[in-house]
Amino acid sequence: MSQDDRYRTTSWNGGEVSRRASGEPERPRPAPERQPERTAPKKKKKRRKKRTNPLLALLLWLAIVAASSAIFAGVGWMLANDFAALNKPPMEVAFQVTEDFVLEVVQEKQENGEMKEVTYYDMEKVAAALKEAGLIEYDWFFRLFARFYHAGTKLTQGTFLLNTEMDYMALVRSMRTTGGKTETVDVTIPEGYNVKQIIELLAENGVGTVEDLTETASNYEFDEYVFVDNKNLGSVSRLEGYLFPDTYQFYVGARTELAFDSMLSNFNKKVYGNDELEELLAASSYKFEEIVAIASLIEKETDGSDRSNISSVIYNRLENDGETGRLLQIDAALVYAAGRPITQEDYVSLDSPYNLYQHTGLPPTPIANPGLASIKAALSPADTNYYFYVLNPESKKHVFSETLAQHNKAVAAAAEAASRMEAPEG
């Protein structure tokens, strides 16, 4: 063992030293385990990418660009149309800026150093109200404009005439005291008034002149309401029955169609769009316009407490020969035709389809504008055998009869009561 090998503990150990000292032969060392040969990994073959047709890719890109441009252009046009009031159907609205729109009132220092009270309006509420009124389409876009235009401080409270031809800036400018503020007047339309009476009432309150109101009622096309006859223009009777009796706030000196539109809109909501009435109409054999005509007759004849009984008389005469030969014989229709108090001669000589002493069935149009109670009575008549009624002047109530003989007695009693009332005391 060389001197160097003595210190290589990895080459010998204590057992080997003992064996060598005793003379034992050296044991052969086991051969080292043969490590398996490593083989180089096989290289994966790369898939050849299919080449995209460059023309197809270009066409696809152009299609995407064109579609995106069309979408953005369409959205942009809709917003521009709303902002600039382009191609909108003409409509005028009396718009109210109320105290409910006020956000806060603060004192602000002006450029000249003075303090001034400034009112800030909630443009979110204003935009929602403008959209509901049909003046704008996109309330969020109007709010965005209002923020940049500082519109929240440019309004004042009041009633203003706005229209769909106004752009966003014009709408804001018009909602100021110096803009289109309009005087208003409250007018109550009584139940049973006909169109001519309503026109006179509106003219007395400064809503418009009799001439302008009559022209509008006769010839303006209220095509938003399916129950209005917009084909046979020329007579105010086409609106008869559909100007709903109620209290309205009209605009002095404004466009006259606004006044009629308010009454027609109210009728549309409370009568034509009434679910309860719609169910009753569905069960009726009469058309909607016939029901309104019946209701107008009831309204002109009722003492206020007998609508369903009067309704039953009308239906009994319409549907049975009875003792009237299907003639309704209602004075109120004859008065409507004459346009004045009637005479005894009118019963036989007044030639008009409204003369229900000569023409069977209903009049060609309603003769007045009935209230909701009369319309309900027209759809729900009482179940009676009444064919006649007469008003007793003392009781101010109608006396109903089934036969002509009973009716004649009631008429005589009414005449006697009238004589007593006219006779001088003592």
Q: Which of 289, 295, 314, 287 is nearest to 364 (CA)?
A: 289
Kindly write down the DSSP assignment for every residue of 120-161, as one continuous string. EE-HHHHHHHHHHTTS-S-HHHHHHHHHHHTGGGS--SEEEE
Cα separation, 352 vs 346, whole angstroms: 10
In a domain, 393, yes or no: no
In a domain, 209, yes or no: yes
In a domain, 102, yes or no: yes
List pLDDT tens digits, range 38-72. Answer: 555 555 555 555 555 676 666 776 777 677 666 76
Map residue 229 onto helix, strand or coil: coil
Q: Judge if 260 and 282 occupy the same domain.
A: no
Q: Judge if 267 and 289 occupy the same domain.
A: no
Using CB atoms within 10 Å of the CB of residue 411, give its burial: 0 to 12 exposed, 13 to 18 middle, 19+ buried.
middle
Each residue of 84-122: b (16+ CB within 10 Å) or e?
A: ebeebeeebbbbbbeeebeeeeeeeeeeeeeeeeebbbe
Q: What percent of the chain has pLDDT over 70?
A: 81
Q: Specify whether the CB–CB gap between 97 and 155 falls below 8 A.
A: yes
What confidence tier does 11 reach under pLDDT thresholds 50, 70, 90? very low
Q: Judge if 252 and 285 occupy the same domain.
A: no
Most confident of 65-79, 172-186, 235-249: 235-249
- pTM of this prediction? 0.64
Q: Judge if 295 and 360 occupy the same domain.
A: yes
Q: Which of 238, 240, 234, 226 is nearest to 296 (CA)?
A: 240
Q: Judge if 253 and 292 occupy the same domain.
A: no
Q: Give the bridge partners for 250, in sequence order.
A: 185
Q: Specify whether the CB–CB gap between 295 and 244 falls below 8 A.
A: no
Q: What is the mean pLDDT of residues 135-144?
A: 92
Sign of CA dihedral 73, 79, 80, 86: positive
Q: Judge if 380 and 297 occupy the same domain.
A: yes
Q: Judge if 309 and 378 occupy the same domain.
A: yes
In a domain, 163, yes or no: yes
Give the end of a domain, one of 152, 174, 196: 174
From 12-21, 289-298, 326-335, the region with the lowest mean pLDDT: 12-21
Asked if residue 4 has pLDDT above 70, the reply is: no
From 82-86, 170-174, 313-317, 417-421, the region with the lowest mean pLDDT: 82-86
Q: What integer best gives the mean pLDDT of the chain?
A: 85
Q: What percent of the chain has pLDDT over 90?
A: 56
What confidence tier does 10 reach under pLDDT thresholds 50, 70, 90? very low
Dihedrals phi, psi of 139, to nearest 5 degrees: -65, -35
In a domain, 287, yes or no: yes
Residue 198 Cα distances to 27, 245, 259, 369, angstroms: 137, 10, 11, 10
List pLDDT tens digits, range 27-43. Answer: 555 555 555 555 555 55
> Number of folded domains in the chain?
3
Q: Judge if 104 and 167 occupy the same domain.
A: yes
Asked if residue 12 has pLDDT above 50, the reply is: no
Q: Specify whether the CB–CB gap between 312 and 386 falls below 8 A.
A: yes
Please give the torsion angle defined by the CA atoms of residues 290, 293, 298 and 299, in that order, rounded to the nearest 10 degrees: 140
Q: Judge if 106 and 162 occupy the same domain.
A: yes
Q: Give the bridge partners for 96, in sequence order.
A: 159
Encoded tokens for 333: 């229709």
Expressed as residue numbers, the domain containing 220 is 184-272
Q: What is the mean pLDDT of residues 395-420?
A: 93
